[in-house]
Chains A and B, each alone.
Chain A
Amino acid sequence: MRRRVAVTGIGLVSPHGDSPAMVFDAVMAGRSTVSRWDEGLTEPAVVARAPFAVERWFTRLQLAGMDRVSQIAVAAAESARTDSGLAALAEDAGIFVGCGMGGAAAIDLAFSCHIGDRRMPPLSVPAFMPNAAAAHVAMRMQVHGPVMTYSVACASAALALAEAAKAVAHGDTPMAIAGGSEALLVPSVVHAWQALQTLASPAGDDPSQASRPFSSDRSGLVLGEGAAFLVLEPLEAAQARGARIYAEFAGSGVSCDATHLTKPNAAGQVRALTKALGDSGLTARDIGYCNAHGTATLVGDVVEAEALRSVWGDDIDRLQVSSTKSTHGHLLGAAGALEAALTVLAIHHRALPPNMHCPNQDPACGLTLVREPGTQAADLSAAISNSFAFGGTNAVLVFRRAD
C-alpha cells in the first residue's frame, strides 16, 4: 500500500533569504544574489552567499563543534517545521539530509592548523563529518526515527527527498523532514573548484549576471551555499489536520550514468526522467514546468537539453524550462532541496520562475525557456526538478497539485 505524500512545510536559509514567500518573489523577479569575492582567494570568484544570523538560532555554548553547514541545516529544518503548522514532529519521524561535503570551514581550519603547526581544534572531526548536520537537526527536533545523510554530490538533496517520500509513502515513518545543506564557500574549497575549471568567470562587467544557464556565452557554474527542507507527510493526515498543502510529492526517478566521473550522460538522465514519470503515474504532456539542473557548464546544459528532448519528443515545446541557478547559484548538496522548494512554490502560486542572464540561447540547448520574470501559469498542474550529480547519479522529482 503506497500512501500519497504531501508537502506541507518549507524552510530555507538561501541566498535569496529565509522566508519562502519572499524568496519565491525574489526568484520570480529575477533578482540575482551572485557577487564577486576577492578576499583571501588567490583568484577572484563569483559566489552566492546565504545571509544567516547565527545568534537568532543558537547560544554560543550550543555552537561548540558546530560547523556552518549544521547551523543553517537546523535553522532551515526548524523553519520548515514551523511553516508546516506542526508544533512538534512525531517522535519516530525521519530526517533525510543531503550534504555534498560536510563541514568545509572545519576541514579548512583543521588543515591550516596541521600545515601551520598550530594547535588542532579538538572538535574538528564532529564538526566536519558529513552526517553532523542531520544529527544536529535530530537533536534539536528530538526525533528518533531514521536520521539519514545522502552524500551524492549535486544530487544529494534530491536523493534525500526521494528516499524520504518513499519512507513516508510506505509507512516506514509517519512524517519526514527532508532536504539538504551545503556551506563550502571557504578559500581552500573554492580554490579546488577553480582548479577543476568548471566555475563561471568573474570577468564580466556585472558579476551578478555570471550564472548564465543555457546561454551561448555561459562560462561555468557559480558556487552557492544554503539549506532547504520540506516537511513530507501522508496526504490524508495533512488533510485531516487541515494543513496547508503546497503540492503532492508525486514520485521520483533515480539512475546512474556509470560512464564518467564528471561528464554527464544523456542516456542516464533519460533513464531517471522516464522512471520519475512512470513512478508518478504522469506522462510528459502532464508536466508544465521543469526546474532544470542547468548549472551553466558548457557540456552540462547541452546534455540536459538533449535528455529532455529525448523524453518529451514532439511535446518538448509544451514544457517550460528554467534554471533558477541563474539567480541563486549552485548549492551543490543542497541544490535539489532549494530547487524542489521553488518547484513546489511554482505549483502553489501557479507561476514560473525565470531563467535569467540568457540573452542569446545556445542553439544546442533547444528548450522553451521561461524568459520573463513574473510569468504566470494558471493551468500548471505538475512540475519536475532535475538534479544530475558528479559521479553520474541522476535524480528527478515530480510534484503535482494536490487538489
Chain B
Amino acid sequence: MNTIEELKQLIHKTFAIDTETLKADAPLEEYGLDSLSLAELLFAIEEHFNLDFPDSSTGIKTLAGLSQLIDDLKAAKAS
C-alpha cells in the first residue's frame, strides 16, 4: 500500500470518514477537520508510522502534502 492509501485508511479509522471521498489534493478542512482534529490526526500518524513531525509541519493542508512529508521523514530516518 502506498503512503496516501495508508493515510486514507488511517483517517477512516480515526474519524470514520469514507476513504472513497478522500482526495489527495483537497484541503483537509473540506472533510470537516479543524485545527483540533488535525492535531489529533497528526498524533495518529506519528503513532502509526512511528515518526516525529517537525514543528514546522503544521502548515500542511492536504493528503498529498502529508504523504510527501511522511515519505521524506521515513527516508531521512532510513539514511
Contact = CB atoms under 8 A, between A and B. Distances in A.
Contacts of A59: 15-16, 32
B60 interface: no
Given A119-B47, A122-B43, A65 B36 contact: yes
Contacts of A123: 36, 39-40
A195 interface: no
B48 to A, nearest CB: 11
B43 A61 contact: no
B16 A119 contact: no
Given A60-B16, A61-B32, A119 B43 contact: yes
B16 A64 contact: no
Interface residues of B, number: 15
Contacts of B26: none
Nearest to A118: B47
Interface residues of A, number: 10
Contacts of B16: 59-61
A121 B15 contact: no
Contacts of A119: 43, 46-47
Contacts of B37: 61, 64-65
Contacts, number: 36
Nearest to A65: B36
A65 B15 contact: no
Contacts of B17: 60-61
Given A59-B16, A122-B42, A64 B36 contact: yes
Given A65-B36, A123-B36, A126-B36, A60 B14 contact: yes
Interface string A318-346: 00000000000000000000000000000
B36 A121 contact: no
A231 B46 CA distance: 44
A162 B65 CA distance: 52
A61 B33 contact: yes
Contacts of A64: 15, 36-37, 39-40
A59 B37 CA distance: 12
Given A61-B32, A61-B33, A122 B14 contact: no
B14 to A, nearest CB: 7
A106 to B, nearest CB: 12
Contact of A65 (B14, B32, B40): B40
A61 B14 CA distance: 8
Nearest to A60: B16
22 contacts: A59-B16, A59-B32, A60-B15, A60-B16, A61-B15, A61-B16, A61-B17, A61-B31, A61-B33, A61-B37, A64-B15, A64-B36, A65-B39, A119-B43, A119-B46, A121-B40, A122-B39, A122-B40, A122-B42, A123-B39, A123-B40, A126-B36
Interface of B: 14-17, 31-33, 36-37, 39-40, 42-43, 46-47
Interface of A: 59-61, 64-65, 119, 121-123, 126
Given A60-B14, A61-B16, A61-B33, 5 more contacts: A60-B16, A61-B15, A64-B40, A65-B40, A119-B43
In the A-B complex, the 9 residue pairs with the closest CB atoms: A64-B37, A60-B16, A122-B39, A64-B40, A61-B15, A60-B15, A65-B36, A122-B43, A61-B32
